[in-house]
Amino acid sequence: MKNLVNAMHKQVKISVVAPVPYAPPFPKRARWLAQRRIPFSEQIGEIYVEHPRFVALPKIECLTGVGYFLNVVRMLSGRIRKLQPDVIHVHCGYPDAVGVALAARVLGIPYVITLHGSDINVYATHRLLRPQIRWALKGASGVIAVSNVLAAKVRILTTGRVSHLVTIPCAGFDPNLFYERPSAESRSTVGIHDSVRLIVFVGHLVPVKGIEFLIDAWGLLMNRNAATVARLIIIGEGNCREPLERRAKHLSATTNITFTGVLSQEEVSTWIAASDLLCLPSLNEGTPNVVVEALATGIPVVASRVGGIPALIKDDENGKLVPPCDALALANAIEEVLSRQWSRSVIRSSVAHLTWDALAEKNITFIESVITK
């Protein structure tokens, strides 16, 4: 999101409001503590960002959109009086789009919604949230879905009664970070010998990422190829890290699985460039940035056939698709990808159109077209 906003800011003036849920003064949960630490305002590069709090009552999720509206409408009103913006561009269907739709009605300004996946795949399946999201979508000047699959679900949800609907991916890459480079150079940087087969996962360590299936697949591969020198690098952090580490230890003392924690984008780009393949065994996804970044580097990808991933991965062209929740299929695909030669130029060309600057231009062109009609 930040990369897209920064790219759009090069072409148009943007003011950012990024609300966060209210957390109690003496938080008992790590998630609440993290929310308390978010400042009420900050300067991120050239963009000034405000973080108003909104009330999200536990177990009463159907009221969160209203809470969002009540806590941000005053700030939005002030921004509109001061900056006189042409449109509000809101990301995520709930609670963000519902709250902004209410505010936009009060303030008399058009809004455009970008949908990312879980807002339609998860929230819109809830009985009390579905009509709210449908109402917000129907009132929007335009709706952007990050994949064709998501756009099809929007048409079903709104019975085709959405003003303007377009598919624009929200997954891109920075060509200054993700580009083909000598593997030996990257491997030297991360301390991996040229003879080692290197597989990388990048993402939050949460249940939806399906990392346990990757670890189980890794165990199958090690049993098949006991003499193979290989490493699995799991980059990221999340509440599943400890159980995943325990699962990895149960496989064998020599499984060569490393958990790195969170790394900078520069470090991630080096690990990807050093790898033989990137693996993303998610149970559900929108259109993941990391897949685009790996492909832009010329690295093949093994990933689940879910969400917007099939729009990026073409079997035997730039990677392999597998069913989710299937460790055996995942192991077979990894083994197949490692066994063949890949054209890095073909892999790179599959996502060459997905730079952040190109995606920003598409968003701006669409938004300008719908608010001037």
Domains by residue range for the chain, with CATH: 2-172+355-371 (3.40.50.2000), 183-349 (3.40.50.2000)
pLDDT digit string, tens, across residues 16-61: 999 988 887 776 677 777 778 889 989 888 888 989 988 888 788 8
Is residue 72 within 8 Å of 19, Cβ to Cβ? Answer: yes
Residue 173, SS3 per DSSP: strand
pLDDT at 254 over 70: no
pLDDT above 70 as % of the chain? 97
pLDDT at 95 over 80: yes
Q: Pick the more confident residue, 140 or 162.
A: 140
pLDDT at 188 over 50: yes
Q: Tell me what pLDDT residue 338 has.
A: 94
Q: Tell me what pLDDT residue 365 has.
A: 96
DSSP state of 95: I
Q: Tell me what pLDDT residue 227 has.
A: 54
Is residue 210 within 8 Å of 324, Cβ to Cβ? Answer: yes
DSSP state of 54: E
The Cα 88–Cα 215 span in angstroms is: 43
Residue 228, SS3 per DSSP: coil
Q: Tokens representing 280? A: 């993303």
pLDDT at 110 over 80: yes
Q: Tokens representing 79? A: 């921004």
What pTM value is reported for the model?
0.86
Is residue 327 within 8 Å of 345, Cβ to Cβ? Answer: no
Which range (119-133, 140-154, 250-264) has the least confidence? 250-264
342: confidence class by pLDDT, cuts 50, 70, 90? very high
Is residue 101 within 8 Å of 72, Cβ to Cβ? Answer: no
Q: Tokens representing 282? A: 């998610």
Residues 272-286 have a mean pLDDT of: 94
The Cα 35–Cα 32 span in angstroms is: 5
pLDDT at 163 over 90: no
Q: Tell me what pLDDT residue 167 has.
A: 93
Which range (13-27, 117-131, 346-360) has the least confidence? 13-27
Q: Tell me what pLDDT residue 373 has.
A: 65
How many beta carbons lie within 10 A of that of residue 93, not counting itself?
A: 30
- Average pLDDT of the chain? 91
Residues 123-141 have a mean pLDDT of: 94
Q: Tokens representing 130? A: 């579905």
Longest dimension (CA), the chain: 68
Q: Tell me what pLDDT residue 253 has.
A: 47
User: Mind giving me the DSSP string for 124-140?
Assistant: GGSTTTHHHHHHHHHHS
Whether a cis peptide bond, with omega within 30° of 0, leads into 24 is no
How many beta carbons lie within 10 A of that of residue 307, not counting itself?
A: 24
The Cα 258–Cα 255 span in angstroms is: 9
The sign of the dihedral angle between the CA atoms of 149, 153, 154, 156 is positive
